[in-house]
C-alpha cells in the first residue's frame, strides 16, 4: 500500500465519521475521558471555544443581557412542574442521591447520606431559573428581565461523539421574561438572528434560520427556532436554538407581575442556547483531508512563523528577523483583537512543525530561512489554499496587508461552504424525486459517504405521522420551516394538498 | 426607635455576620437558592466575578498556562487512588448513582438506571486531570505541562454562607507537571505570587503569603501555601492556595516520563486555586455600614451619572449633557479597559437611585442638574469618602483626571485595609498575652464583634496536638508560616523551645 498523500487517514470520501474523529485527534482538540460519554477538551479545542464565548458574550451584552449563575442541581420536584419538559429529559438525567462516601468493613467506598429529595444535574435550567425569576419579578417595572448563563450541563446520551454529542457539554443558556407575548417573540427572533450572524460572520458557516416542526420542538416550548448548517457529508447540524416558551414555564414557576393597570399577569418567557457542539460544526464545515481549517476570527493563532535555521550561517539573526515580524504583526488588529502570532522555535524537524500547524488549521504559515531574510521577504502558505500554493512575499507588504488577508481567508472559506450547500440543495416537487434524492446509492457501492443527497426543499402540509413515516423510510426529517426564504404557496408532493411554503429536509446529526 | 442613619442594618459593630448578609442583599449580588447550600449569583455579583476572571486569566496566560476542560464527574475508583485525598473529601461528596428517572405507578418520579460505578461530582480535579496527564506525558519534551481549568465544583458543606462557603462554587484550578522537584516548587511559589499580586493590585486587599501547617494542608499535598487577608471582624480569610504535590498524585495516576537519559521517572505536580470566595473577601475587606465599596479595577461600573431633571426647564438638554460626559469617559481607559459608565435615567426618585448605587459600591457618582450644566460642571461623590463629602468639579477637569482619580480610590482603599490590618496585628512573646489577646471580652459585654483580637505573630515550634489545644481553647489557629516576613529566630512562648521564625495566628473563616 502506498503512503497516503493526505495528513488525515481516512479521507472524507473514504469514511466520513472516522475522518472526523481523526481530525479532532490530529488537531489535538479533544479526547474521550475515562467517564462514559464525557470528553476532555484539550487546550487547542478550548481556545477555539473561548474565542466563540468571547464574541457571543459581547453580542449578548450589546443586546442588553446580563450574565448570572444558577445552581448545578435541580430538585426533582422542580423538574416535575412542567409535564412535557420532564417527559423530554427524564430518560437522560444524572441523578445525585447521596452526599458523602463511607468505607465498608472490607475497605470499599460506598455512597452514604441519602438525600431526602434526589437532585438532577441540570440538563437545562428553565425550571431552576424560573424559581429565581418568580422571586425577582413583581411588577411590569421589573420587565424585561434578560439573563444569560455560561455553564456545563449533562444529558446522559448513550451514543456520544466528541463535541457533537457528549453527556456533559459546555454551553450558554439565555433566559428572558417579558410583559407581552409580542416582546417575547421579538426576543426569540432577535437571538436567532444573533446566532445566525455569529455562525456566518465569525464561524464562516452559512446557516438557514427556521422554525422546527412539532416533533422537533423543545419540550415545553410553544415555538422552537433553529439555525441549520450543512456539513460536508451533506447532513444538517442544528447549531443553535431559540425557544418561545409562551406562559408554559411562567405558569409552572408562577412568574407573575402586576401590570400597569394593577392586574396580576403571567410573564412570557424565552430561552436560547448554543454549545460546544459549534466546535464540531466548525470542523465539519471547513476541515479537509489534511486536517482542521480555522476561520481567522476564531483561530487561537492567526500566523505561525517557522524559522528555518538548519541551513543558516547565523541562526540567531533569523530568529531576530522572525521575532521582529511577530512583534509587528502583534501590534496589528484583526476583528477588534490583536493578531495572534506564534514563532515556533522548537527543536524538531521543520516538516513536522509545518504539518502540525496544517493539521491544527492555523490560517497563515510563514517559513523563514536565510534566503527570505536576505530578500527582506517571507515565504507564505494559506491554509485555505492547496498545500503547494506557497509564495514569497516582501515582508513589508505582508505586514501591511495582513488584516485584508485574514478577512479574505474568512470570506473565502465562507463562500466555499455556501457554494457547497447550494450545490447540494435541490428544490423538489415530486415524491419520487424526493425518495430518489435521499436513496443511498452508496449502499450498493459500499461507500460510506453518499454521492448525492443534501438539503431538499419541498412543499409540505403533512402530519407528524407522515414525517415519522418519511424518517423511517429514509432517515430524513424536516430540519426547519425557513423564516427568511422567498416562498410561494404550492402543493405538498406527499399529500397533494396546498402548502403555504417550502420546508428543508435532510439527514441530520 | 429612631431611623437608622446607615444604609445597612445592622452595622458591622452591631452584628458583623448579619451585616455581611445584608450587604450582599443590598448590593443585589447573590441569594440562597431552593437547592440546599447552593447560591444564585445575581448579575452584579457575577459581573465582579467576571472581572476577577478576566484579570486572573490574563495573568495565567502570561505565565505560560493554557486553559482546558475536564469531566464534571469523577469515578469512585479514581478518588480512591490517593488515600489522604479521598479521606479529605469523602465526607462532602455529591454522588451520582443513577442516569435516568422513571415514573412509578402512582405517578412519582424515581431514580432509575443504576450506574455500575457511582460518580462523584468533582470537589477538585487532581485525580481526573491526573489521568489525562498520564496519557499526555511521555517524555521530558512534554514537560512542563501547565493547564488551568475554570469550572464549578461541589463540596457538600453543612453550614453555608453566600460566597464564603457554598456547596457549589465557581473557581479555577491550575494543574501542572514538571520534570524536577525544583521546577514544581518554583511553579507553586510563582502562582502564590500571582494570587498575592492579584489580591493586592486588583482587589486592593493586603495579604500575607505563607505556608500552611500540617493540619491545614490540602489532602495529598507535600506543602500547601496560601494568601491570608484580614477581614473587618479581624478574622483571617484564606483567599487562595497553591500546593506542591510532590510525586503523590503522579504516583497515584502513573504520570511518568522518560528523562533525557532514557530513564522512566514520575513527574512532580502542583495545583492551585481561587474561587468565588474572593467576592466574599472583597466585601469584608472594603464594605462599610452603607454597603459595598468596590475597588475600581473590579467595578462593573466605574462612574454612575444621575441626571437631576425634575427641576429642569429642559430635561432633554440635561440628558444630552450627561450622555456627552458618559461618551467622553467611555473613550478613556483605566487599567487597560474602557471606563464603564452608566447614565441612570430611570423614572424613580433621585435619592433612591443614589442610595442604590452607594449600596452597590460604584466608585464615583455624579449628580447633574441644571445648575451644574450651566456651570459646565458636575457634582461628584466618591464612594470611598464620607457620604457628605461631595463637591462640584469643572467637567473638563473631571474628565481629564478620571484615570488618576480611579487609581487614587484604588490606592486609598488598599491603604485603609492595610492600616486596619497593621492596627490589629500584634507581636506577642508570652502565652499569657496571647490568651489575653484572643479572649473574647465581648462575651461579657454581649457584643458580637470582638473589641480586640486580630493577627498575632508568635514564635512557634509546637506539635499538631498543641495547635489543636489552642484551637480548642480559643478557636484560633496558625493561619500561615509567612514566607516573606523579616524573621529572626526566637523562643516559642508555648513550649519554651527554640523557633526559627514567627507564625500568624488568627480566628478564621
Average of per-residue pLDDT across A373-389: 92
Name chain A contacts of B33, Cβ cutoff 8 Å. Answer: 70-71, 128, 131-132
- A48 neighbors A29 (Cβ within 8 angstroms): yes
CB contact under 8 A, A35 and B95: no
From residue A137, give the alpha-carbon distance in Å to each of A60, A68, A268, B503: 21, 16, 12, 50
CB-CB neighbours of B180 under 10 Å: 15
Compute the average pLDDT of residues B278-293.
98
CA distance B183 to chain A (A): 20
Give the phi and the psi of residue A375 in degrees, each rounded to 5.
Answer: -85, 0
pLDDT, tens digit, for every residue of B24-64? 999 999 999 999 999 999 999 999 999 999 999 999 999 99
Between the CA of residue A425 and those of A210, A230, A422, A471, what are the distances in Å? 16, 9, 5, 19
| Chain A, chain B: beta-carbon pairs less than 8 Å apart | 186
pLDDT in tens, B99-118: 999 988 887 899 999 999 99
Query: pLDDT tier at B442 (50, 70, 90 boundaries)?
Result: very low
Chain A residue with the nearest C-alpha to that of B346: A141
CA distance A245 to A218: 9
Three-class HEC string of A30-86: EEECCCCCCEEECHHHHHHHHHHHHHHHHHHHHCCCEECECCCEEEHHHHCCCHHHH
Question: What pLDDT, on a 0 to 100 scale, did the predictor assign at position B132?
Answer: 97
Nearest to A99 among B42, B47, B94 (CB): B94
CATH superfamily of B298-421: Anticodon-binding domain (3.40.50.800)
Query: With 70 as the cut, is the pLDDT of residue A446 above it?
Result: no
pLDDT of residue B446: 52
**Do residue B98 and residue A99 have CB atoms under 8 angstroms apart?**
no
Range B57-92 burial, b when 16+ CB lie within 10 A, else e: bebbeeeebbbbbbbbbbbbebbbbbeebbebbbeb
Assess contact for A274 and A240: CB atoms under 8 A.
yes
User: In the prediction, which pLDDT does A451 show?
Assistant: 54
Please report which confidence band the pLDDT of residue A466 belongs to, taking 50, 70 and 90 as the band edges: very high
Q: How far is A44 from chain B (nearest CA, A)?
A: 8
Q: Does residue B445 register a pLDDT over 60?
A: no
Q: How far lies A468's CA from each of A93, A455, A477, in Å?
A: 26, 18, 8
Mean residue pLDDT across chain A: 94
Task: Compute the distance between CA of residue B451 and CA of residue B428 in angstroms, rounded to an integer.
Answer: 18
Every domain of chain A and the residues it spans: 16-286, 297-421, 426-506
Nine cell digits for residue A72: 448545578
Grid coordinates of B445: 459585654
pLDDT band at B2 (very low <50, low <70, confident <90, very high): very low
Q: Name the burial class of residue A2, with classes exposed (0-12), middle (13-18) and buried (19+) by CB atoms within 10 angstroms of its CB.
A: exposed
Of B202, B205, B222, B170, which is closest to residue B335 (Cα–Cα)? B202
Contacts by A373-378, CB closer than 8 A, 24 or more apart: A373/A317, A373/A318, A373/A321, A378/A305, A378/A325
Q: Residue A2: its pLDDT value, please?
A: 47
pLDDT of residue B142 exceeding 50, the answer is yes
* Owner of C-alpha cell 429536509: A505
Cβ neighbourhood burial of A136 (10 Å; 0-12, 13-18, 19+): middle
Using CA atoms, how far apart are residues B229 and B210, in angstroms rounded to an integer? 11
A1: pLDDT confidence band, cut at 50, 70 and 90?
Answer: very low
Which residues have CB under 8 Å from B492's CB, separation 6+?
B458, B459, B460, B461, B462, B498, B499
Between CA A249 and CA A234 the distance in angstroms is: 36
Q: What is the mean pLDDT of residues B306-313?
A: 85
- List A468's β-bridge partners, or say none: none
Third-level CATH fold of A297-421: Rossmann fold (3.40.50)
Question: How far does A195 lie from chain B, in Å, by closest CA?
Answer: 22
* Residue tagged 476542560 (cell numbers): B69
Q: Does residue A442 register a pLDDT over 50?
A: no
Average pLDDT rounded to a whole number, residues B143-166: 95
pLDDT at A209 over 60: yes
Distance CA A275, CA A442 (A): 32
Q: How confident is the model at residue B87 (pLDDT cuts 50, 70, 90)?
A: confident
Which neighbouring-strand residues pair with B224?
B243
The answer to whether residue B336 scores a pLDDT higher than 70 is: yes
Buried/exposed code over A229-246 (b: 16+ C-beta within 10 A; e: otherwise): bbbbbbbbbbbbbbbbbb
Measure the CA–CA gap between A395 and A480, rounded to whole angstroms: 49
Question: B320: which residues sit within 8 A by CB, 6+ positions away?
Answer: none
Of B75, B95, B154, the CB nearest to A97: B95
DSSP B83-94: HHHHHHHGGG--
Q: Which residues neighbour B220 within 8 Å (Cβ) at sequence distance 6 or greater?
A: B82, B84, B85, B88, B126, B245, B248, B249
pLDDT of residue A307: 95
**Average pLDDT over chain B, rounded to whole?**
94
Q: Collapsing DSSP states into helix, strand and coil, what is residue B188? A: helix
Mutate to test the interface with A, among B37, B49, B65, B72 (most CBs of A within 10 A): B72
Nearest chain A residue to B348 by CA distance is A141
Angstroms from B422 CA to nearest CA on chain A:
36
Q: What is the ipTM of this complex?
A: 0.95
Cβ B229 vs Cβ B205: under 8 Å: yes
Fold of B16-75+121-286: BirA Bifunctional Protein; domain 2 (3.30.930)
pLDDT of residue B223 exceeding 60: yes
Segment B353-388, tens digit of pLDDT = 999 999 999 999 999 999 999 999 999 999 999 877
Residue in B36, B58, B96, B167 to test binding to A, most A beta-carbons within 10 Å: B96
Min mean pLDDT across A125-134, A211-220, B38-47 is at A211-220
- Cell numbers at A100, concatenated: 458523602
- Does B485 score more than 80 pLDDT? no
**Rounded to the nearest 5°, which phi and psi values hold at A121?**
-70, 125
Summarize pLDDT for A216-271 with one digit per residue, the tens.
899 899 999 999 999 999 999 999 999 999 999 999 999 999 999 999 999 999 99
Domain A16-286 grouped into CATH 3.30.930.10: yes
Q: Considering CB atoms only, which of A91, A99, A132 is closest to B156?
A: A99
Provide the 8-state DSSP code for A26.
H
CB contact at 8 A, B147 and B176:
yes
**Helix or strand or coil: residue B425?**
strand
CATH fold group of domain B426-506: Translation Initiation Factor IF3 (3.30.110)
Kindly determine whether residue A128 and residue B97, on different chains, have CB atoms separated by under 8 Å. no
Q: What are phi and psi of A116, to 5 degrees?
A: -65, -45
Share of chain B above pLDDT 70, in %: 97
Total number of residues shown for chain A: 509
A424 grid coordinates:
447540494
Closest Cβ–Cβ partner in B46, B91, B101 for A90: B101
Provide the phi-psi class of A481: left if phi over 0, else alpha when psi is between -120 and 50, else beta. Answer: beta
What is the arithmetic mean of pLDDT over B395-421? 97
**B34/A73 touch (CB, cutoff 8 Å), yes or no:** no
Q: Are strands B364-368 and B303-307 parallel, antiparallel or unpaired?
A: parallel
Q: Answer yes or no: is pLDDT of A375 > 70.
A: yes
Inter-chain CB proximity B67 and A50 less than 8 Å: yes
Q: What is the pLDDT of residue B200?
A: 98
Residue B271 has pLDDT above 50, yes or no: yes
- Asked if B34 and A75 come within 8 Å (Cβ–Cβ), the reply is yes
Model confidence at A4: pLDDT above 80: no
Amino acid at each position: 500500500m502506498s503512503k497516503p498523500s493526505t495528513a488525515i487517514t481516512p479521507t472524507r470520501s473514504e469514511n466520513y465519521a472516522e475522518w472526523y474523529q481523526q481530525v479532532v485527534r490530529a488537531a489535538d482538540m479533544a479526547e474521550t475521558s475515562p467517564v462514559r460519554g464525557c470528553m476532555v477538551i484539550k487546550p487547542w479545542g478550548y481556545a477555539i471555544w473561548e474565542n466563540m464565548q468571547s464574541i457571543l458574550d459581547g453580542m449578548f451584552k450589546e443586546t442588553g443581557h446580563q450574565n448570572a449563575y444558577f445552581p448545578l442541581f435541580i430538585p426533582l420536584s422542580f423538574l416535575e412542574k412542567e409535564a412535557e419538559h420532564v417527559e423530554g429529559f427524564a430518560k437522560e438525567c444524572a441523578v445525585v442521591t447521596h452526599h458523602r462516601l463511607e468505607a465498608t468493613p472490607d475497605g470499599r467506598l460506598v455512597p452514604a447520606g441519602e438525600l431526602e429529595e434526589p437532585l438532577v444535574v441540570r440538563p437545562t435550567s428553565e425550571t431552576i431559573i424560573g424559581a429565581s425569576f418568580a422571586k425577582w419579578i413583581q411588577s411590569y417595572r421589573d420587565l424585561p428581565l434578560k439573563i444569560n448563563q455560561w455553564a456545563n450541563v449533562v444529558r446522559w446520551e448513550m451514543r456520544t461523539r466528541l463535541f457533537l454529542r457528549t453527556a456533559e457539554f459546555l454551553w450558554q443558556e439565555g433566559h428572558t421574561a417579558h410583559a407581552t407575548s409580542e416582546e417575547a417573540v421579538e426576543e426569540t427572533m432577535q437571538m436567532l438572528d444573533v446566532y445566525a450572524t455569529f455562525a456566518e460572520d465569525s464561524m464562516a458557516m452559512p446557516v438557514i434560520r427556521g422554525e422546527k416542526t412539532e416533533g422537533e420542538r423543545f419540550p415545553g416550548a410553544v415555538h422552537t427556532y433553529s439555525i441549520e448548517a450543512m456539513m460536508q457529508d451533506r447532513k444538517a447540524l442544528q447549531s443553535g436554538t431559540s425557544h418561545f416558551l409562551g406562559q408554559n414555564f411562567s405558569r409552572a414557576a408562577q412568574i407573575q407581575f402586576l401590570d400597569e393597570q394593577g392586574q396580576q399577569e403571567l410573564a412570557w418567557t424565552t430561552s436560547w442556547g448554543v454549545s460546544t457542539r459549534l466546535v464540531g460544526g466548525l470542523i465539519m464545515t471547513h476541515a479537509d483531508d489534511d486536517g482542521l481549517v480555522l476561520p481567522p476570527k476564531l483561530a487561537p493563532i492567526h500566523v505561525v512563523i517557522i524559522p528555518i535555521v538548519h541551513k543558516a550561517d547565523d541562526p540567531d539573526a533569523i530568529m531576530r528577523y522572525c521575532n521582529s515580524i511577530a512583534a509587528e504583526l502583534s501590534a496589528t488588529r484583526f476583528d477588534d483583537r490583536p493578531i495572534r502570532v506564534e514563532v515556533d522555535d522548537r527543536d524538531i524537524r521543520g516538516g513536522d512543525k509545518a504539518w502540525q500547524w496544517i493539521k491544527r488549521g492555523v490560517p497563515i504559515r510563514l517559513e523563514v530561512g536565510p534566503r527570505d531574510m536576505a530578500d527582506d521577504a517571507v515565504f507564505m502558505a494559506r491554509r485555505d489554499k492547496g498545500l503547494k500554493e506557497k509564495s514569497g512575499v516582501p515582508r513589508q507588504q505582508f505586514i501591511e496587508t495582513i488584516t485584508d488577508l485574514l478577512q479574505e481567508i474568512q470570506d473565502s472559506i465562507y463562500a466555499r461552504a455556501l457554494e457547497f450547500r447550494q450545490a447540494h440543495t435541490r428544490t423538489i416537487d415530486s415524491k419520487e424525486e424526493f425518495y430518489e434524492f435521499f436513496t443511498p446509492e452508496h449502499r450498493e457501492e459500499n461507500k460510506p459517504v453518499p454521492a448525492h443527497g443534501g438539503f431538499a426543499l419541498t412543499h409540505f402540509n403533512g402530519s407528524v405521522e407522515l414525517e415519522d413515516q418519511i424518517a423511517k423510510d429514509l432517515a430524513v426529517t424536516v430540519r426547519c420551516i425557513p423564516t427568511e426564504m422567498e416562498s410561494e404557496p404550492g402543493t405538498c408532493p406527499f399529500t397533494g394538498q396546498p402548502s403555504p411554503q417550502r420546508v428543508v429536509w435532510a439527514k441530520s446529526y
